[in-house]
Every structure is written in structure tokens, then in C-alpha cells.
């Protein structure tokens, strides 16, 4: 799908210091009934964000107006569970372009990269520093520099580098996706298929 190119993102961040945030929390299954990909942001973290009667839960971070920004900072093992890409869509649709954690579940990480969200894995120590910086100042900005593969807490100047493979980095910085790549090699795939025994 088409998404905005990702190069350098400078933004305040929303802290969610909970471990094992699974995709059922990010978007509960009962909201997966759409046949289009827009609008999932309304139900992002639905059951943590709203009471049963649809009134906002005041103690949840997305309902706290002092926190905002295009970066979501989550606890260890973010995005575990179901393969629903809807979880990544919900995060993107809400307005986030980057998720920072000390560890990501595989499928969520892949889904994010495929739709233009950058998952940034940092050390547990650096993650704590980010949480501390946001606690000290909810407007504290982070700079995520994809070309340099570096994340910086601007208030303190502390930074850490992060990994991403060259292919995905090239895609994200140019707004390309895998389907463009695969369509261009269909001849090669056809030859491969002809040799399959099943």
C-alpha cells in the first residue's frame, strides 16, 4: 500500500510502559469486521481506552491530553499474539509513524514495516531513559533518524543506534513496498514454480 516516506521524524511521544502489549489489546477482534483498512484508529486500544459504556477511561494515556505525538513508546515484547495487520493499521490510522520498544514480536514488526511504521528497537536501558524523559516533560521530543539509524532524546542529547536491514530501509525512505519488487520479478518466480513438485 502507499504510505508516507520515512526519513527523519522529530516528535513528542506517548508512553505505554506495559510489557507484552498484544495485538488483541491494540485492536480487539470484534473490531476486525471491516473490509477496508481505514478507520481502525478509533478503536486503537479500545478496551484500555474506553469503559463498557464507551466513556473514556481517564487514567489511560491516550485520554490524557498532556501526551501526544507521532511516536508510541511501549514496554518489552510489543505486538505479541495475532498476525492481524489491523493492529498496525490502527496505530498508523491514529497518527503514529514510529513505535519504540526494547523488543518486538516478529509478525507485528514485519506488518509495521510493510505499511510504513518504523519499529525502533532500543536497549532496555535506553527505553527507560525515554520513559524518564517523557515523565520529566511530556513534551520531550525524540528524533528518529532513519538514514543514520539513530534515535535521540533531544532534551538530553542521549542517543542510540538501531538496526534495520538495508532493503527495508531503502523501501521506507522511498515509500516503496514489497509488491512493487515482486511484480518486477514475476518471470523468475514463474520459472521457479514450474519446478515445484507440489
Partner 1 sequence: MSNQASTLFDKVWDAHVVRKIEDGPDVFFIDRHFIHEVTSPVAFLGLETRGIGVMYPERTFATADHNTPTINQHLPVADPLSANQLKALESNAAKYGISHWGLGHARNGIVHVVGPENGITLPGMTIVCGDSHTSTHGAFGAIAFGIGTSEVEMVLSSQCIMQPKPKKMRVNVNGQLGKGVTPKDVTLYIISKLTTAGATGYFVEYAGDVFENMSMEGRMTVCNMSIEMGARGGMIAPDETTFAYINGREQAPKGEKWDKALAYWKTLKTDEDAVFDKEYNFDAADIEPMITYGTNPGMGQGISKAIPTSDQVEGGKATYDKSLNYMGFHENESMLGKKIDYVFIGSCTNGRIEDFRAFASIVKGRKKADNVTAWIVPGSHIVEAQIKEEGILDILTEAGFELRQPGCSACLAMNDDKIPAGKYAVSTSNRNFEGRQGPGARTLLASPLVAAAAAVTGVVTDPRTLL
Binding residue for partner 1, selected from 4, 42, 106, 132, defined by CB under 8 A: 106
Q: Which residues contact 192 (CB under 8 A, 6 or more apart)?
A: none
CB closer to partner 1 out of 12 and 97:
97
Task: Compute the distance between CA of residue 17 and CA of residue 74 in angstroms, rounded to an integer.
Answer: 5
CB closer to partner 1 out of 19 and 137:
19
193 to each of 5, 144, 183, how far by Cα in Å? 33, 41, 15
177 touches 170 (CB < 8 A): no
* Residue 187 touching partner 1 (CB under 8 A): no
Binding segment for partner 1 (CB under 8 A), chosen from 54-62, 107-115, 137-145, 153-161, is 107-115
* Residue 111 touching partner 1 (CB under 8 A): yes
46 touches 27 (CB < 8 A): yes
Could you tell me the smallest distance in angstroms from the CB atom of residue 8 to partner 1?
21
CB closer to partner 1 out of 77 and 152:
77
Binding segment for partner 1 (CB under 8 A), chosen from 55-63, 71-79, 137-145, 148-156, is 71-79
Could you tell me the smallest distance in angstroms from the CB atom of residue 198 to partner 1?
5
Nearest to 79, CA basis, from 71, 68, 88, 70 = 88
Binding residue for partner 1, selected from 57, 123, 167, 175, defined by CB under 8 A: 167
Could you tell me the smallest distance in angstroms from the CB atom of residue 192 to partner 1?
5
Q: What are 111's three cell numbers? A: 506488518
Task: List the beta strands (DSSP E) in the chain.
Answer: 8-16, 71-74, 98-101, 118-121, 141-145, 150-153, 158-161
Residue window 24-43: x/- pattern of binding to partner 1, with contact defined by CB under 8 A: xx--xxx-xxxxxx------
Amino acid at each position: 500500500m502507499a504510505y508516507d516516506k520515512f526519513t527523519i521524524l522529530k516528535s513528542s511521544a506517548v508512553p505505554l510502559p506495559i510489557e507484552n502489549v498484544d495485538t488483541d489489546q491494540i485492536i480487539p477482534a470484534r473490531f476486525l469486521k471491516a473490509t477496508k483498512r481505514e478507520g481502525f484508529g478509533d478503536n486503537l486500544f479500545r478496551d484500555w481506552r474506553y469503559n463498557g459504556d464507551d466513556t473514556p477511561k481517564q487514567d489511560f494515556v491516550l485520554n490524557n491530553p498532556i501526551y501526544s505525538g507521532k511516536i508510541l513508546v511501549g514496554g518489552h515484547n510489543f505486538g505479541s499474539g495475532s498476525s492481524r495487520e489491523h493492529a498496525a493499521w490502527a496505530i498508523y490510522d491514529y497518527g503514529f509513524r514510529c513505535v519504540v520498544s526494547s523488543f518486538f514480536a516478529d509478525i507485528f514488526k514485519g506488518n509495521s514495516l510493510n505499511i510504513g511504521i518504523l519499529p525502533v528497537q532500543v536497549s532496555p536501558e535506553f527505553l527507560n531513559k525515554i520513559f524518564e524523559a517523557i515523565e520529566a516533560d511530556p513534551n520531550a521530543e525524540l528524533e528518529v533518524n532513519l538514514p543514520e539509524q539513530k534515535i535521540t532524546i533531544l532534551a538530553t542529547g542521549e542517543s542510540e543506534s538501531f538496526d534495520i536491514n538495508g532493503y527495508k530501509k531503502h523501501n521506507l525512505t522511498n515509500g516503496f513496498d514489497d509488491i512493487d519488487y515482486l511484480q518486477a520479478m514475476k518471470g523468475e518466480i514463474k520459472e521457479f514454480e514450474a519446478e515445484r513438485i507440489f
